[in-house]
Chain A
Amino acid sequence: MSTAFSGYKRRVARILEKAGAEIGDVIQITRENDVIEGILIPRSGSNDAKHVTVKLSNGYNIGVRITPKTKIKKVGTGPKPAFTRPPLPKQSMDLPKVVIVSTGGTISSRVDYRTGGVRPALTANDLYSVVPELSEIAVVDTDVISNLFSENVTVKHWRKMAAVIAKHIKKGLAGIVVAHGTDTMGYSAAALSFALQNLPVPVIVVGSQRSADRPSSDAATNLIGAVRAAAYAPFAEVAVAMHETASDETIIFHRGTKTRKCHTSRRDAFRSINTSPLARMKNGQIEMLLESYRKRGAYSKLILKPNFNEKVALIKFHPSIDPNIIEWYVSESYKGIILEGTGLGHVGRYCFSKIRDAIKNSIVVGMTSQCLWGRISMNVYNQGRDLLALGVIPLDDMLPETALVKLMWILGQTDDVEEAKSLLSMNLADEFSRRTRIGETA
């Protein structure tokens, strides 16, 4: 049998092989003083190599320890699991067209009936079968460009996402949905915000916090909200769509440059920081929450600028940080550093000389705050004023991650340090807010 697939290893794999038992077969395990019968179930990677997992007739799985005296016999062929797709819903061709660009993550997965785990839903029909409501909202097409846990997404993938989205937009459609793992979804949304300029249609980046293998998953609700926004929303921006609260009541849309994952597990893990969310969807209706936004159809031609420079670092300052870290980046020919400083935008004076060296070596250095909420202000204390004098660029209320992505993108467009500095301070994709609103807080 294909032991590699089943998760069985070494001696247990050999015993099963000898018995001619495959996943799904009914096997009988005879030991010193008992006999156990059940369906052979695959072992997950983290399980040890000394037990066999069987499903008892009551549906429960148990692990049976295999000793040298254990005998295994195949006594029957169990039902072979098969994915039976529910009948596909009728598709009305009059509806707006939406392309779902799938990069991986929980959102674009369906249950793997063999392991109980999840695997990607590859085609529009897969998606329709899992979320039939989509067919009543839009004519959906899918483009699977990768199947990655989002922590494995790199600059290379941002470039590809941007290029693929641009290709689809040029062919003409109502909107794009990007299915993405939530861990680095904020970074990707920021990247797309800079790489896709003059967007004629919305690009909705969507994830889910609870896997699709549970009936309570937020995947379907989020996806439905994202597709609806892609098809009908009045804005044409890159936005992240997720639950607004613990309820399946509303979907909230965060501006791609102003959002961040702020909770490890909650459905409403994403927050708009230093701004209001862009829009909210309730009962299928979209309500704009910001007065000023880029409107659908304001531009007819998309400008694609998909290049990023990876030689940019994000350094979080902490007490007793070793300033030589900065020197290492200089020696590795980095082009930019975003500092995540304390409070209003400070780092310890013991870092100053290394920062001076970095700037002398033509590295663009920007300052953000690890407080996340609020605006930096480097004129209040001497420490801040001295950093400004060194040439550190204050980045106002920009999120540290967005600042990193922005500088990567800038240095992907230009080698000119002065131009890069001036672009970094310029508001390109609403990464800065002019006002800090009352009540804007964590």
Chain B
Amino acid sequence: MTSIYSEIGLKAGLEVHQQLDSRTKLFCRCRSKLFSGDPIITFMRQLRPTQSELGQVDPAALFEFRKGVRIIYEANDESSCLVEMDEEPPHPLNREATEIALTVALMMKAKLVDELHIMRKAVLDGSNTTGFQRTCVVATDGEIDLKGKIVPIQHISLEEDAARKMEEADSIVRYRIDRLGIPLLEVATAPVIHSPQEAQETALAIGQVLRATGKAKRGLGTIRQDINISIRDGALVEIKGVQELELVSKIIELEAQRQLGLLEIREELERRRAKEKDFKDDFRDVSAIFQHTECKIIREALDQDKRVFAVRLPKFADLLGRELVSRTRLGSEMADIAHFWGRVGGLFHTDELPAYGITNEEINKIRQHLEAESLDAIVFVADNLRNAKDALKAVIRRAREALKTVPEETRGARVDGTTRYLRPRPGAARMYPETDVPSFRLSADRVEKLSGCIPELPKVRISRLVEDYGLNTKLAKQMVDSEYASLFPMIVKESAVSATVVAVALTETIKALKRDGVDVERISDTQLRDLFILIGSGRLAKEAIPEVLTWLAEHEDDEGEEAIEALGLAMLSRKELEIAVEEIVRENTKLVEDRRMGAAGILMGLAMKRLRGRVEAKQVGELVKKQLKKLVG
């Protein structure tokens, strides 16, 4: 596999973002806690692009602003204060979060920065009330050990997490600011990863170090990967917000494939002698052709006094519809771009027609009207003049790019590993100093103190789990990789349940339940601890773990006791169990007569099936044998 990727010159870099579990947020003393239910306050803002240190305004940012986007923010009292509302200057950098970041830096053998400078990274999509994200490099030049291969870490930074997007409709975006300001640690590798597999392993290794601090937040959305990918002759594409580690390698594979596909299209256009100058912003109103159309989308648009505008893409026939990777064609790329720049819902292109009620006759008329030749493709949209123009201009720009190169862009990951266009890549000059928080020096004392209490590295930890808890190596490894790594020793200690049982539950069982669609992220630490205490005290059978976990995931406010009651899982007393076993034996007298003591296995199976979760298997076994002996002598 690696060789294919080295042939195409794959280069990837990772940025792992991990929420830190500090008591308060990075620049204020609010709790790092998300809220559900209605907000107590909402407010509206508009963001205006400012010039960077180098005097430039990001064109995409300027465009967003001209679209007149209104941002509605929602807040409650516990998780946000005036700082998140951008109504109060930031407080000093959170000391606890800084120390976690420095600890991670020391674990990755990085060089700590002498004097920390907080920067503002311009972000104009509304996810930050200020219009920028506060961020600061705490260390540079670290490394992570990947089974002997050293992956260089370029920098480790501490930054504030962004607000959560709740809804987006036309020109209104709704965000909740509870997440804004939660400390986020960013670990960025050098772009030296050469295969999808290696990327996945790197992400895993970084995650292990982060979790080893015991201060990494857990649950959906608490760790997010951005991936930078390029191939030879391709372009640097940034893929944002990958939440599932398992997706990292797939995303890289698919992105490499997408870029290869685009390069093939470029070659084909060259063969067809497509020329940049032939691509013109010559938009034609073709509404008349659709006067009696059967196409619902166009019909509705025309009824709302919108118009249909078309543009010709010379020599593009069949290229817009060609599949690059699953769910991705140049045509769909153009639709996303047209949506970004022109706010249009979608576009039509001749490669996918006739369809959607658009007839061959209509297509031919458009072709005639635009004087299209057979190798030309046509793209059209139904919207008002301004949106349609912006959209088609973007389409022409994208077509011109297709002649030359793969464009640099920021893409968003979908859950199946495919990606879609989000926005152009921001310019380099988007960082400027945060003047409201003074820079500060790291004292030698503080660094020395932290160096003295670095947590164990994963390797050391695995062998300790094997020695101290008697886990087998495979289980110990799984436990260290697990999000529940720091919870494990606590549970073992307080519940007195066998370490292996706890480890299996926290790794394999939870993974299996997740695969079956159980929302295990919702189970709280307290619920887990309580569950094992019940097992340890003999009030619940360990066989009931999967069932109870499934129930708890749906009952956030309840604990093990309620689960036992709701599921009817109360342990049978010795007496009750004896009666139950007797009953089963009685129901199967024929079997007992035939097989005598040999019936024990089947009877045991029947009993466990009927009593599962309410009895210990060992006890059932004993009682079945006792009953049999009594009967058969």
A residues near B (Cβ < 8 Å) are 34, 36, 41, 44, 46-48, 51, 53, 55-56, 58-65, 79, 81-84, 86, 110-111, 113-117, 209-210, 212-217, 220-221, 245-249, 264-267
Residue of A nearest to B66 (CB): A132
User: What are 25 of the A-B contact pairs (CB < 8 Å)?
Assistant: A34-B111, A44-B433, A53-B117, A59-B429, A60-B117, A60-B137, A62-B114, A62-B117, A63-B113, A84-B51, A84-B56, A111-B51, A116-B433, A117-B435, A214-B131, A215-B47, A215-B61, A216-B45, A216-B47, A216-B129, A246-B43, A247-B44, A249-B44, A265-B82, A265-B88
Q: B53's contact among A116, A212, A214, A216, by CB below 8 Å, is which?
A: A116
Q: Is B154 part of the binding interface, using a Cβ–Cβ cutoff of 8 Å?
A: yes
Q: Is B135 part of the binding interface, using a Cβ–Cβ cutoff of 8 Å?
A: yes
Q: Is the CB of B116 within 8 A of A63?
A: yes
Could you tell me the distance between the alpha carbons of A331 and B117 in the complex, rounded to whole angstroms? 51
Q: Is the CB of B141 within 8 A of A34?
A: yes
Residue of B nearest to A269 (CB): B87
Q: Is the CB of A64 within 8 A of B82?
A: no
Chain B 23-48, CB-CB to A under 8 Å as 1, else 0, gives 00000000000000000010111111
A212 — which chain B residues lie within 8 A by C-beta?
50
Q: Is the CB of B56 within 8 A of A114?
A: no
Q: B428's contact among A59, A114, A245, A248, by CB below 8 Å, is which?
A: A59
Most buried by A among B115, B119, B130, B137: B115
**How many Å from the CB of B155 to the closest CB on chain A?**
7
Given the known interface contacts A79-B54, A116-B435, the answer about A215 and B131 at a Cβ–Cβ threshold of 8 Å is yes
Residue of B nearest to A113 (CB): B55
Could you tell me the distance between the alpha carbons of A58 and B154 in the complex, rounded to whole angstroms? 10
B85 — which chain A residues lie within 8 A by C-beta?
246
Could you tell me the distance between the alpha carbons of A111 and B43 in the complex, rounded to whole angstroms? 26
Q: Is B465 part of the binding interface, using a Cβ–Cβ cutoff of 8 Å?
A: no
**How many Å from the CB of A54 to the closest CB on chain B?**
10
Q: Is the CB of A44 within 8 A of B154?
A: no
Nearest 6 CB-CB pairs, A to B? A215-B131, A63-B115, A59-B431, A65-B114, A116-B433, A215-B47
Most buried by B among A62, A64, A220: A62
A53 — which chain B residues lie within 8 A by C-beta?
115, 117, 439
Q: Is the CB of A84 within 8 A of B155?
A: no
Q: Secondary structure of the A side of the interface?
A: loop
Q: A61's contact among B57, B86, B117, B130, by CB below 8 Å, is which?
A: B117
Q: Is the CB of B89 within 8 A of A265?
A: yes
Q: Is the CB of A63 within 8 A of B439?
A: yes
**How many Å from the CB of B32 to the closest CB on chain A?**
22
Q: Is the CB of A51 within 8 A of B43?
A: no
Q: Is B523 part of the binding interface, using a Cβ–Cβ cutoff of 8 Å?
A: no
The number of chain B residues with a CB under 8 A from chain A is: 58
**How many Å from the CB of A120 to the closest CB on chain B?**
15
Q: Is the CB of B56 within 8 A of A51?
A: no
**How many Å from the CB of A247 to the closest CB on chain B?**
4
Residue of B nearest to A66 (CB): B114
Q: Is the CB of B89 within 8 A of A64?
A: no
Q: Is B5 part of the binding interface, using a Cβ–Cβ cutoff of 8 Å?
A: no
B188 — which chain A residues lie within 8 A by C-beta?
58
Q: Is B430 part of the binding interface, using a Cβ–Cβ cutoff of 8 Å?
A: yes
Could you tell me the distance between the alpha carbons of A27 and B130 in the complex, rounded to whole angstroms? 32
Given the known interface contacts A84-B56, A214-B130, A216-B130, the answer about A63 and B87 at a Cβ–Cβ threshold of 8 Å is no
Q: Is the CB of A61 within 8 A of B433?
A: yes
B111 — which chain A residues lie within 8 A by C-beta?
34
Q: Is the CB of A248 within 8 A of B45?
A: yes
Q: Is the CB of A60 within 8 A of B136?
A: yes
Could you tell me the distance between the alpha carbons of A95 and B432 in the complex, rounded to whole angstroms? 37
A34 — which chain B residues lie within 8 A by C-beta?
111, 141
Q: Is the CB of B53 within 8 A of A114?
A: yes
Chain B 76-112, CB-CB to A under 8 Å as 1, else 0, gives 0000001001111100000000000000000000010
Could you tell me the distance between the alpha carbons of A325 and B435 in the complex, rounded to whole angstroms? 40
Q: Is the CB of B113 within 8 A of A62?
A: yes
A36 — which chain B residues lie within 8 A by C-beta?
140
Q: Is the CB of B431 within 8 A of A60?
A: yes
Could you tell me the distance between the alpha carbons of A117 and B131 in the complex, rounded to whole angstroms? 16
Q: Is the CB of A220 within 8 A of B119?
A: no
B52 — which chain A residues lie within 8 A by C-beta?
113
Residue of A nearest to B111 (CB): A34
Residue of B nearest to A83 (CB): B55
Q: A215's contact among B49, B141, B157, B433, by CB below 8 Å, is which?
A: B49
**How many Å from the CB of A21 to the closest CB on chain B?**
18
Q: Is B122 part of the binding interface, using a Cβ–Cβ cutoff of 8 Å?
A: yes
A81 — which chain B residues lie within 8 A by C-beta?
53-55
A214 — which chain B residues lie within 8 A by C-beta?
50, 86, 120, 130-132
Q: Known pairs A53-B115, A79-B54. 12 more at Cβ < 8 A?
A: A36-B140, A44-B435, A48-B441, A60-B155, A63-B114, A65-B441, A115-B433, A212-B50, A214-B130, A215-B48, A247-B45, A265-B89
Residue of B nearest to A212 (CB): B50
Residue of B nearest to A80 (CB): B54
Q: A82's contact among B55, B117, B120, by CB below 8 Å, is which?
A: B55
Q: B43's contact among A60, A113, A247, A264, by CB below 8 Å, is which?
A: A247
Residue of A nearest to B122 (CB): A215
Q: Is B242 part of the binding interface, using a Cβ–Cβ cutoff of 8 Å?
A: no
Chain B 142-185, CB-CB to A under 8 Å as 1, else 0, gives 00000000000011010000000000000000000000000000
B87 — which chain A residues lie within 8 A by C-beta?
209, 246, 265-267
Q: Is the CB of B157 within 8 A of A60?
A: yes
B140 — which chain A residues lie within 8 A by C-beta?
36, 56, 62
Q: Is B491 part of the binding interface, using a Cβ–Cβ cutoff of 8 Å?
A: no
Q: Is the CB of A86 within 8 A of B57?
A: yes
Q: Is B489 part of the binding interface, using a Cβ–Cβ cutoff of 8 Å?
A: no
Q: Is the CB of B141 within 8 A of A220?
A: no
Q: Is B438 part of the binding interface, using a Cβ–Cβ cutoff of 8 Å?
A: yes
Could you tell me the distance between the alpha carbons of A220 and B45 in the complex, rounded to whole angstroms? 12
Given the known interface contacts A113-B52, A247-B43, the answer about A216 and B117 at a Cβ–Cβ threshold of 8 Å is no
Q: Is B395 part of the binding interface, using a Cβ–Cβ cutoff of 8 Å?
A: no
A111 — which chain B residues lie within 8 A by C-beta?
50-51, 432
Q: Is B377 part of the binding interface, using a Cβ–Cβ cutoff of 8 Å?
A: no
Q: Is the CB of B47 within 8 A of A59?
A: no
A266 — which chain B residues lie within 8 A by C-beta?
82, 87-88
Could you tell me the distance between the alpha carbons of A399 and B61 in the complex, rounded to whole angstroms? 44
Q: Is the CB of A62 within 8 A of B154?
A: no
Residue of B nearest to A65 (CB): B114
Q: Is B392 part of the binding interface, using a Cβ–Cβ cutoff of 8 Å?
A: no
Q: Is the CB of A113 within 8 A of B51?
A: yes
Given the known interface contacts A63-B113, A265-B89, A266-B87, the answer about A84 and B130 at a Cβ–Cβ threshold of 8 Å is no
Q: B86's contact among A58, A65, A216, A221, by CB below 8 Å, is which?
A: A216
Could you tell me the distance between the alpha carbons of A83 and B50 in the complex, rounded to whole angstroms? 12
**How many Å from the CB of A20 to the closest CB on chain B?**
22
Q: Is B413 part of the binding interface, using a Cβ–Cβ cutoff of 8 Å?
A: no
Q: Is the CB of A215 within 8 A of B50?
A: yes
Q: Is B510 part of the binding interface, using a Cβ–Cβ cutoff of 8 Å?
A: no
Could you tell me the distance between the alpha carbons of A88 and B88 in the complex, rounded to whole angstroms? 33
Q: Is the CB of A65 within 8 A of B115?
A: yes
* Residues 391-414 of B contacting A (Cβ, < 8 Å): none
**How many Å from the CB of A55 to the closest CB on chain B?**
8
Most buried by B among A61, A213, A221: A61
Q: Is the CB of A64 within 8 A of B130?
A: no
B433 — which chain A residues lie within 8 A by C-beta?
41, 44, 61, 115-116
Could you tell me the distance between the alpha carbons of A125 and B402 in the complex, rounded to whole angstroms? 39
Could you tell me the distance between the alpha carbons of A264 and B120 in the complex, rounded to whole angstroms? 23
Given the known interface contacts A58-B154, A216-B130, the answer about A210 and B119 at a Cβ–Cβ threshold of 8 Å is no
